[in-house]
Amino acid sequence: MSNQPPTFLNTVYYPSWRVYKGFPPSSLQLDCIDQIFYAFVLLNPDGTLKYLDEYADLTKPVDGETGCLRALAKLKQRKPTLKTLISVGGGSGSAEFPAIAADPALRTTFANSCRQFVDQFQLNGIDIDWEHPTTPEAGTNYIQLLQALRSVLPSPQYLLTTALPVGEYCLKNINIPLAAQLLDTLNLMGYDFNGPWTNVCGHHAQLLRQPGDENSIHPGLRHSCHRGASFLLARGFPAQKLVLGVPAYARSFTGARGVGQPFTGAAELDYNELPPEWIRDAAVDENVAAASYVDNAPGGKGFVSFDVPRTVRMKAEYVRQMGLGGLFYWTGVGDVNGPDSLVRAGYEGLHRG
């Protein structure tokens, strides 16, 4: 039996459009990052890949290179152990997945296009961010898509990962043990539990659900990171391949002052856009491992839900106790440097002692 301590991943997504806000790949805190997922590339209906923003990806001067993709590759000069992956799809880029995944010829085209892209830009693998396979048929085709990718991206030479939500509306459609055989890691999106689509406000990334009888809790408040992780683990997904997501952004609910209240409007703010005093003065609910601030100013944001270093350390401790694979962050450039950094808090929490 090995006495080696477990190794934990601390990984980030890098969205190419943040380069226009002055956040190139070089702005990431590389000393506490193991992997970077470049978001996103999109799909053509014929199964080939297309750039989300060809200027940002290939042409814009970035970090002494032309385009963010080459700037990403350059980071390996600073940190040779760094792994980089291209994330395909995303919340607004998944419309082509169902048809491509359902067609054997298109799956093959897609897999070959991914392999070519990975090799061209010195990447280590592919991350599938299909949002979301919500029918049994889509779940079956999702597995076939992963199989096509793995056939041209053999392990361990190439990494194959995916991002999936905590919701059973998606996870129940997927053959979890088979997915586990094909994937290196699964990024469990532990956020967006509440937002403009829900009737009442709540924490959008709580580790544990609100206490009390589940049937008496509003449906929008029942989701949690633990619920999604437990669903996967109970169905045979290996704990060490499960990476828990942390949002480096907040959700605000105008007109609300606490969990479970109705609201008149909702918004999203990057963590680095929050006033520092909100982070400093945030109330942390120890029962669910979530933080919030109530902006009572005239015209204020109302109830604002977000993570702070303290809640991220709680999530890191959960990862350690459950034997999970680590943490990831959407996004690495939504974070701040210094003592309020979420990415650094997670890294230090994972590697303490």
Q: Are 67 and 120 in contact (CB under 8 A)?
A: no
Query: How large is the angle between the packed helices 225-234 and 309-322, nearest 10 degrees?
Result: 10
Backbone angles phi, psi at 89, to 5 degrees: 110, -115
The yes-or-no verdict on residue 344 having pLDDT over 80 is yes
Task: Say if residue 278's pLDDT is above 60.
Answer: yes
Q: What is the pLDDT of residues 65-118, one digit of tens each?
A: 999 999 999 999 999 999 999 999 999 999 999 999 999 999 999 999 999 999
What pLDDT score was predicted for residue 106? 98
Looking at residue 1, its pLDDT comes to 42
pLDDT at 282: 98
Q: Is the dihedral of CA 236, 228, 35, 183 positive or negative?
A: positive
Looking at 254-308, list the stretches that DSSP marks H as alpha helix, in order from N- to C-terminal side.
276-280
Instruction: Please tell me the predicted confidence (pLDDT) of residue 353.
Output: 67
Question: Distances from the Cα of 321 to the Cαs of 5, 44, 282, 314, in angstroms?
Answer: 13, 42, 26, 11
Residue 299 scores a pLDDT above 50? yes
Mean pLDDT of 170-194: 97
So what's the pLDDT on residue 217?
75
Q: What is the chain's mean pLDDT, rounded?
A: 95
Q: Above 50 in pLDDT, residue 286? A: yes
Q: How confident is the model at residue 2 (pLDDT cuts 50, 70, 90)?
A: very low
Q: Which CATH superfamily is domain 9-247+307-350 in?
A: Glycosidases (3.20.20.80)
Q: Starting at the earlier edge strand, list the strands of the sheet with 283-285.
A: 265-270, 249-254, 302-306, 290-295, 283-285
**What pLDDT is stored for residue 4 in this prediction?**
60
If one counts every other C-beta atom within 10 angstroms of the C-beta of residue 139, the result is 20
Q: Where are the alpha helices (DSSP H) in 200-272?
A: 225-234
Locate the domains of the chain by residue range: 9-247+307-350
pLDDT, one tens digit per residue, over 214-253 is: 777 777 778 899 999 999 999 999 999 999 999 999 999 9
Q: What pLDDT sits at residue 215? A: 74
Cross-strand pairs, 292: 283, 305
- Tens digits of residue pLDDT in 20-48: 999 999 999 999 999 999 999 999 999 99
Residue 210, pLDDT above cutoff 90: no
- For residues 226 and 229, give the distance between their C-alpha atoms in angstroms, rounded to a whole number: 5
Please report, rounded to a whole number, the percentage of residues in the chain having pLDDT higher than 70: 98
